[in-house]
Amino acid sequence: MTTSVTHRSATPHRPCPQTTPLPADPRAPSQARRAASAYLHRTQPSLAPDRHDDVLLIVSELVTNAVRYTPGPRALTLTTTAHGLDIAVTDTSCTEPAPRTPDLAGGTGGMGLHIVDDLGARVFAEPVPGGKCVHAAFEDV
């Protein structure tokens, strides 16, 4: 796994982004979680353990959705700003994500975006060349 890191200090005027390319296969969520954990330890060393786990769960859900519902994720970008943390996953589909009724009996999912919302992240998508970028933004991380 190759991680591209832009080194900047996290100040109110200068975000601290990290972009991690992801494979278009089932390894992507675990690689994304490892990259996110390392990023948080480096940029948010005082982050509470439960908040750290929340971020990793959101990363996992967004990347899993990209693996499951699109031809594959391209990258995970984490950006620390003066106001919080932006988790962004680019993929190769132009279809915006939409919450659906969870399938609790059949095991086909449907809980990911609900989990992200319940953890307090604001979810939005934006078109990018060749697909979209799904963001989960935290104001309090």
Q: Which two tokens stand for residue 136?
A: 């989960």
pTM for the predicted model, two decimal places: 0.84
What is the tens place of the pLDDT at every residue in 110-123? 778 888 889 989 99
Compute the residue count for the chain.
Answer: 141
Residue 14 has pLDDT above 60, yes or no: no
Among 20, 18, 21, which Cα is nearest to 85's? Answer: 18
Task: Count the neighbouring beta carbons within 10 Å of the beta carbon of residue 110.
Answer: 13
Q: Which two tokens stand for residue 9?
A: 């200090």
Find the farthest-apart pair of alpha carbons in the chain and give their distance in angstroms, rounded.
48
- Residue written as token pair 């060393």: 45
What is the tens place of the pLDDT at every residue in 33-67? 999 999 999 999 999 999 999 999 999 999 999 99
Residue 4 has pLDDT above 60, yes or no: no
What is the average pLDDT score of the chain? 85
What is the tens place of the pLDDT at every residue in 75-108? 999 999 888 999 999 999 999 888 777 767 776 7
